[in-house]
């Protein structure tokens, strides 16, 4: 038994490596800090000799298997489900609703097996809270209960649970249902990714850009902070396509996208705005900050040294950039920011290209 403490937390990650079953079948259990029994109690319950317990007080262990969270106030139920799922999944568990919410929010499980009857906060309430938080609403929930009650099952499904299993259950059936729900979750995630990504460049697509700009505009209206928008256009790209062909034109756009995304920060959104136009949304960024990022992007693109012998500004591919920084006010809309940044982009184009033009 090896015990490790997750960084900056009192959460204990306990990995049970039985010599007999080998590493393939190692079983992982996690206790939140609100768990109703201590690590010592846990080790005692599992008859783990204390002298093989080591604590490193450092990094969390990286475990490759998908995580599921088992929530039940009965230790015997948790142990049964650990036995069923321990060879396939990393099993986290919680014995009350508060711990379940904490683990669901911080440990990103792929699925939650949720008991209905628990003291203090019942499974329905846990489900309601998980499904109303944007951090946890995508996690599939399967209720497991001894209650064979039509109303309860309907309520569970109405609250957004994916499935409802009544005891006694057959291990093989519950395993298939869990596997099925995790596959569906992955398929949904893949669809979401595809629906917000530009197929050629891998940047955010125009639809996602529009959604993020709108929500950021509303957020900045509330906070009164600066919101900056960078619009970029590839110089003489039509001539590039005429010279090098559309296949190379596509390759060029892909390299430019990498050149842009390697500069922006994790809080920014880089998107393909149109054919050869790119955009970056820079939340809580003033004009100086935006100009600095835009200039870095411009130089980075030049540094790629993509040959463009028919360009009239340089012998490599360059971009023109327009920036607008807004103090968002209610009553206006995000289209105002786009229009102003577009004006600056036009200025950058008409005043010689391969440059940054800006306004706040
Ligand atoms: Mg119970």
Per residue in 19-59, pLDDT tens?
332 333 333 344 433 333 444 455 555 544 333 333 334 33
Q: For the chain, how many helices (H) and strands (E)? A: 11, 14
- Tell whether 179 and 225 lie within a shared domain: no
Q: What is the pLDDT of residue 63?
A: 40
- Tell whether 18 and 101 lie within a shared domain: yes
DSSP, res 52? G
**SS3 label, residue 90:** strand
CATH number at residue 82: 3.40.50.2300
Q: How many residues does the chain have?
A: 360
- Tell whether 167 and 211 lie within a shared domain: no
115 alpha carbon to ligand 1 midpoint, in Å? 6
167 alpha carbon to ligand 1 midpoint, in Å? 12
Q: What is the pLDDT of residue 64?
A: 59
Q: Which residue has the tokens 């990504």?
A: 197
Residue 34 lies in a domain: yes
14 alpha carbon to ligand 1 midpoint, in Å? 23
Residue 141: domain span = 2-196
32 alpha carbon to ligand 1 midpoint, in Å? 18
Q: Which residue has the tokens 């790119």?
A: 278
**Average pLDDT taken over every residue of the chain:** 84
Domain boundary among 160, 175, 196: 196
CATH number at residue 323: 3.30.70.270
Number of domains making up the chain: 2
146 alpha carbon to ligand 1 midpoint, in Å? 8
Domain boundary among 140, 167, 196: 196
Domain boundary among 177, 196, 215: 196
Rounded CA separation 48/7 (Å): 24
Q: What percent of the chain has pLDDT over 70?
A: 82
Q: E strands within the chain?
A: 2-5, 12-16, 27-31, 54-55, 67-71, 90-94, 111-115, 141-145, 163-166, 226-234, 269-272, 277-282, 319-327, 356-359
Averaged over 285-307, what is the pLDDT? 97
Residue 201 lies in a domain: no
Question: For the chain, what percentages of helix, strand and coil (3-state, to nearest 5) are there?
Answer: 45, 20, 35
Q: What is the pLDDT of residue 56?
A: 37
Tell me: pLDDT of 2 over 60.
no
70 alpha carbon to ligand 1 midpoint, in Å? 12
Give yes or no for a cis peptide into 168 (omega within 30° of 0): yes
Cα first-last separation, the chain: 60
- Tell whether 168 and 273 lie within a shared domain: no
Q: DSSP characters for 273-312?
A: -SSSEEEEEETT--HHHHHHHHHHHHHHHHHT--B-TT-S
Give every CB contact of residue 339 below 8 A, 6+ residues apart in sequence. Answer: none
Q: What is the pLDDT of residue 12?
A: 40
137 alpha carbon to ligand 1 midpoint, in Å? 22
- Tell whether 190 and 230 lie within a shared domain: no
- Tell whether 154 and 213 lie within a shared domain: no
- Tell whether 263 and 147 lie within a shared domain: no
298 alpha carbon to ligand 1 midpoint, in Å? 60
Q: What is the pLDDT of residue 199?
A: 95
- Tell whether 215 and 159 lie within a shared domain: no
165 alpha carbon to ligand 1 midpoint, in Å? 14
- Tell whether 189 and 218 lie within a shared domain: no
Averaged over 71-79, what is the pLDDT? 93
- Tell whether 343 and 296 lie within a shared domain: yes
Per residue in 181-226, pLDDT tens?
999 999 999 999 999 999 999 999 999 999 999 999 999 999 999 9
Q: What pTM did the predictor assign? A: 0.69
Point out the residues that are catalytic.
276
- Tell whether 139 and 114 lie within a shared domain: yes
150 alpha carbon to ligand 1 midpoint, in Å? 18
Residues facing residue 319 across a β-bridge: 234
8 alpha carbon to ligand 1 midpoint, in Å? 31
């Amino acid at each position: 038994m090896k015990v490790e403490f997750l960084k900056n937390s009192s959460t204990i990650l306990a990995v049970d490596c039985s010599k007999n079953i080998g590493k393939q079948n190692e079983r992982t259990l996690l206790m939140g800090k609100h768990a109703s029994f201590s690590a010592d109690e846990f080790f005692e319950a599992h008859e783990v000799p204390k002298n093989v317990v080591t604590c490193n007080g450092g990094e969390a262990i990286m475990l490759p298997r998908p995580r599921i969270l088992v929530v039940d106030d009965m230790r015997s139920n948790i142990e049964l489900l650990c036995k069923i799922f321990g060879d396939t999944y990393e099993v986290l568990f919680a014995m009350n609703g508060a711990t379940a919410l904490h683990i669901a929010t911080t440990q990103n499980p792929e699925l939650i097996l949720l008991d209905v009857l628990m003291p203090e906060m019942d499974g329905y309430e846990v489900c309601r809270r998980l499904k109303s938080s944007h951090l946890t609403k995508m996690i599939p929930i399967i209720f497991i209960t001894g209650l064979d009650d039509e109303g309860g099952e309907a309520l569970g499904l109405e609250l957004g649970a994916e499935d409802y299993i009544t005891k006694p259950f057959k291990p093989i059936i519950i395993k298939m249902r869990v596997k099925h729900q995790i596959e569906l979750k992955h398929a949904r995630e893949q669809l979401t990714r595809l629906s917000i990504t530009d197929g050629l460049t891998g940047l955010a697509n125009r639809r996602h850009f529009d959604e993020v700009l709108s929500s950021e505009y509303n957020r900045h209206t509330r906070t009164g902070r600066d919101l900056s928008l960078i619009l970029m256009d590839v110089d003489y790209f039509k001539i590039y396509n005429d010279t090098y062909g559309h296949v190379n034109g596509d390759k060029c756009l892909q390299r430019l996208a990498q050149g842009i995304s390697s500069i922006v920060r994790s809080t920014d959104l880089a998107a393909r705005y149109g054919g050869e136009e790119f955009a970056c949304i820079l939340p809580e960024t003033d004009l100086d900050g935006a100009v600095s990022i835009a200039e870095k992007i411009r130089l980075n693109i030049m540094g790629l040294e993509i040959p463009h012998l028919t360009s009239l500004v340089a012998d490599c591919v360059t971009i023109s950039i327009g920036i607008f920084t807004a103090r968002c006010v209610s009553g206006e809309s995000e289209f105002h920011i786009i229009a102003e940044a577009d004006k600056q982009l036009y200025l950058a184009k008409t005043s010689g290209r391969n440059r940054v033009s800006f306004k706040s």
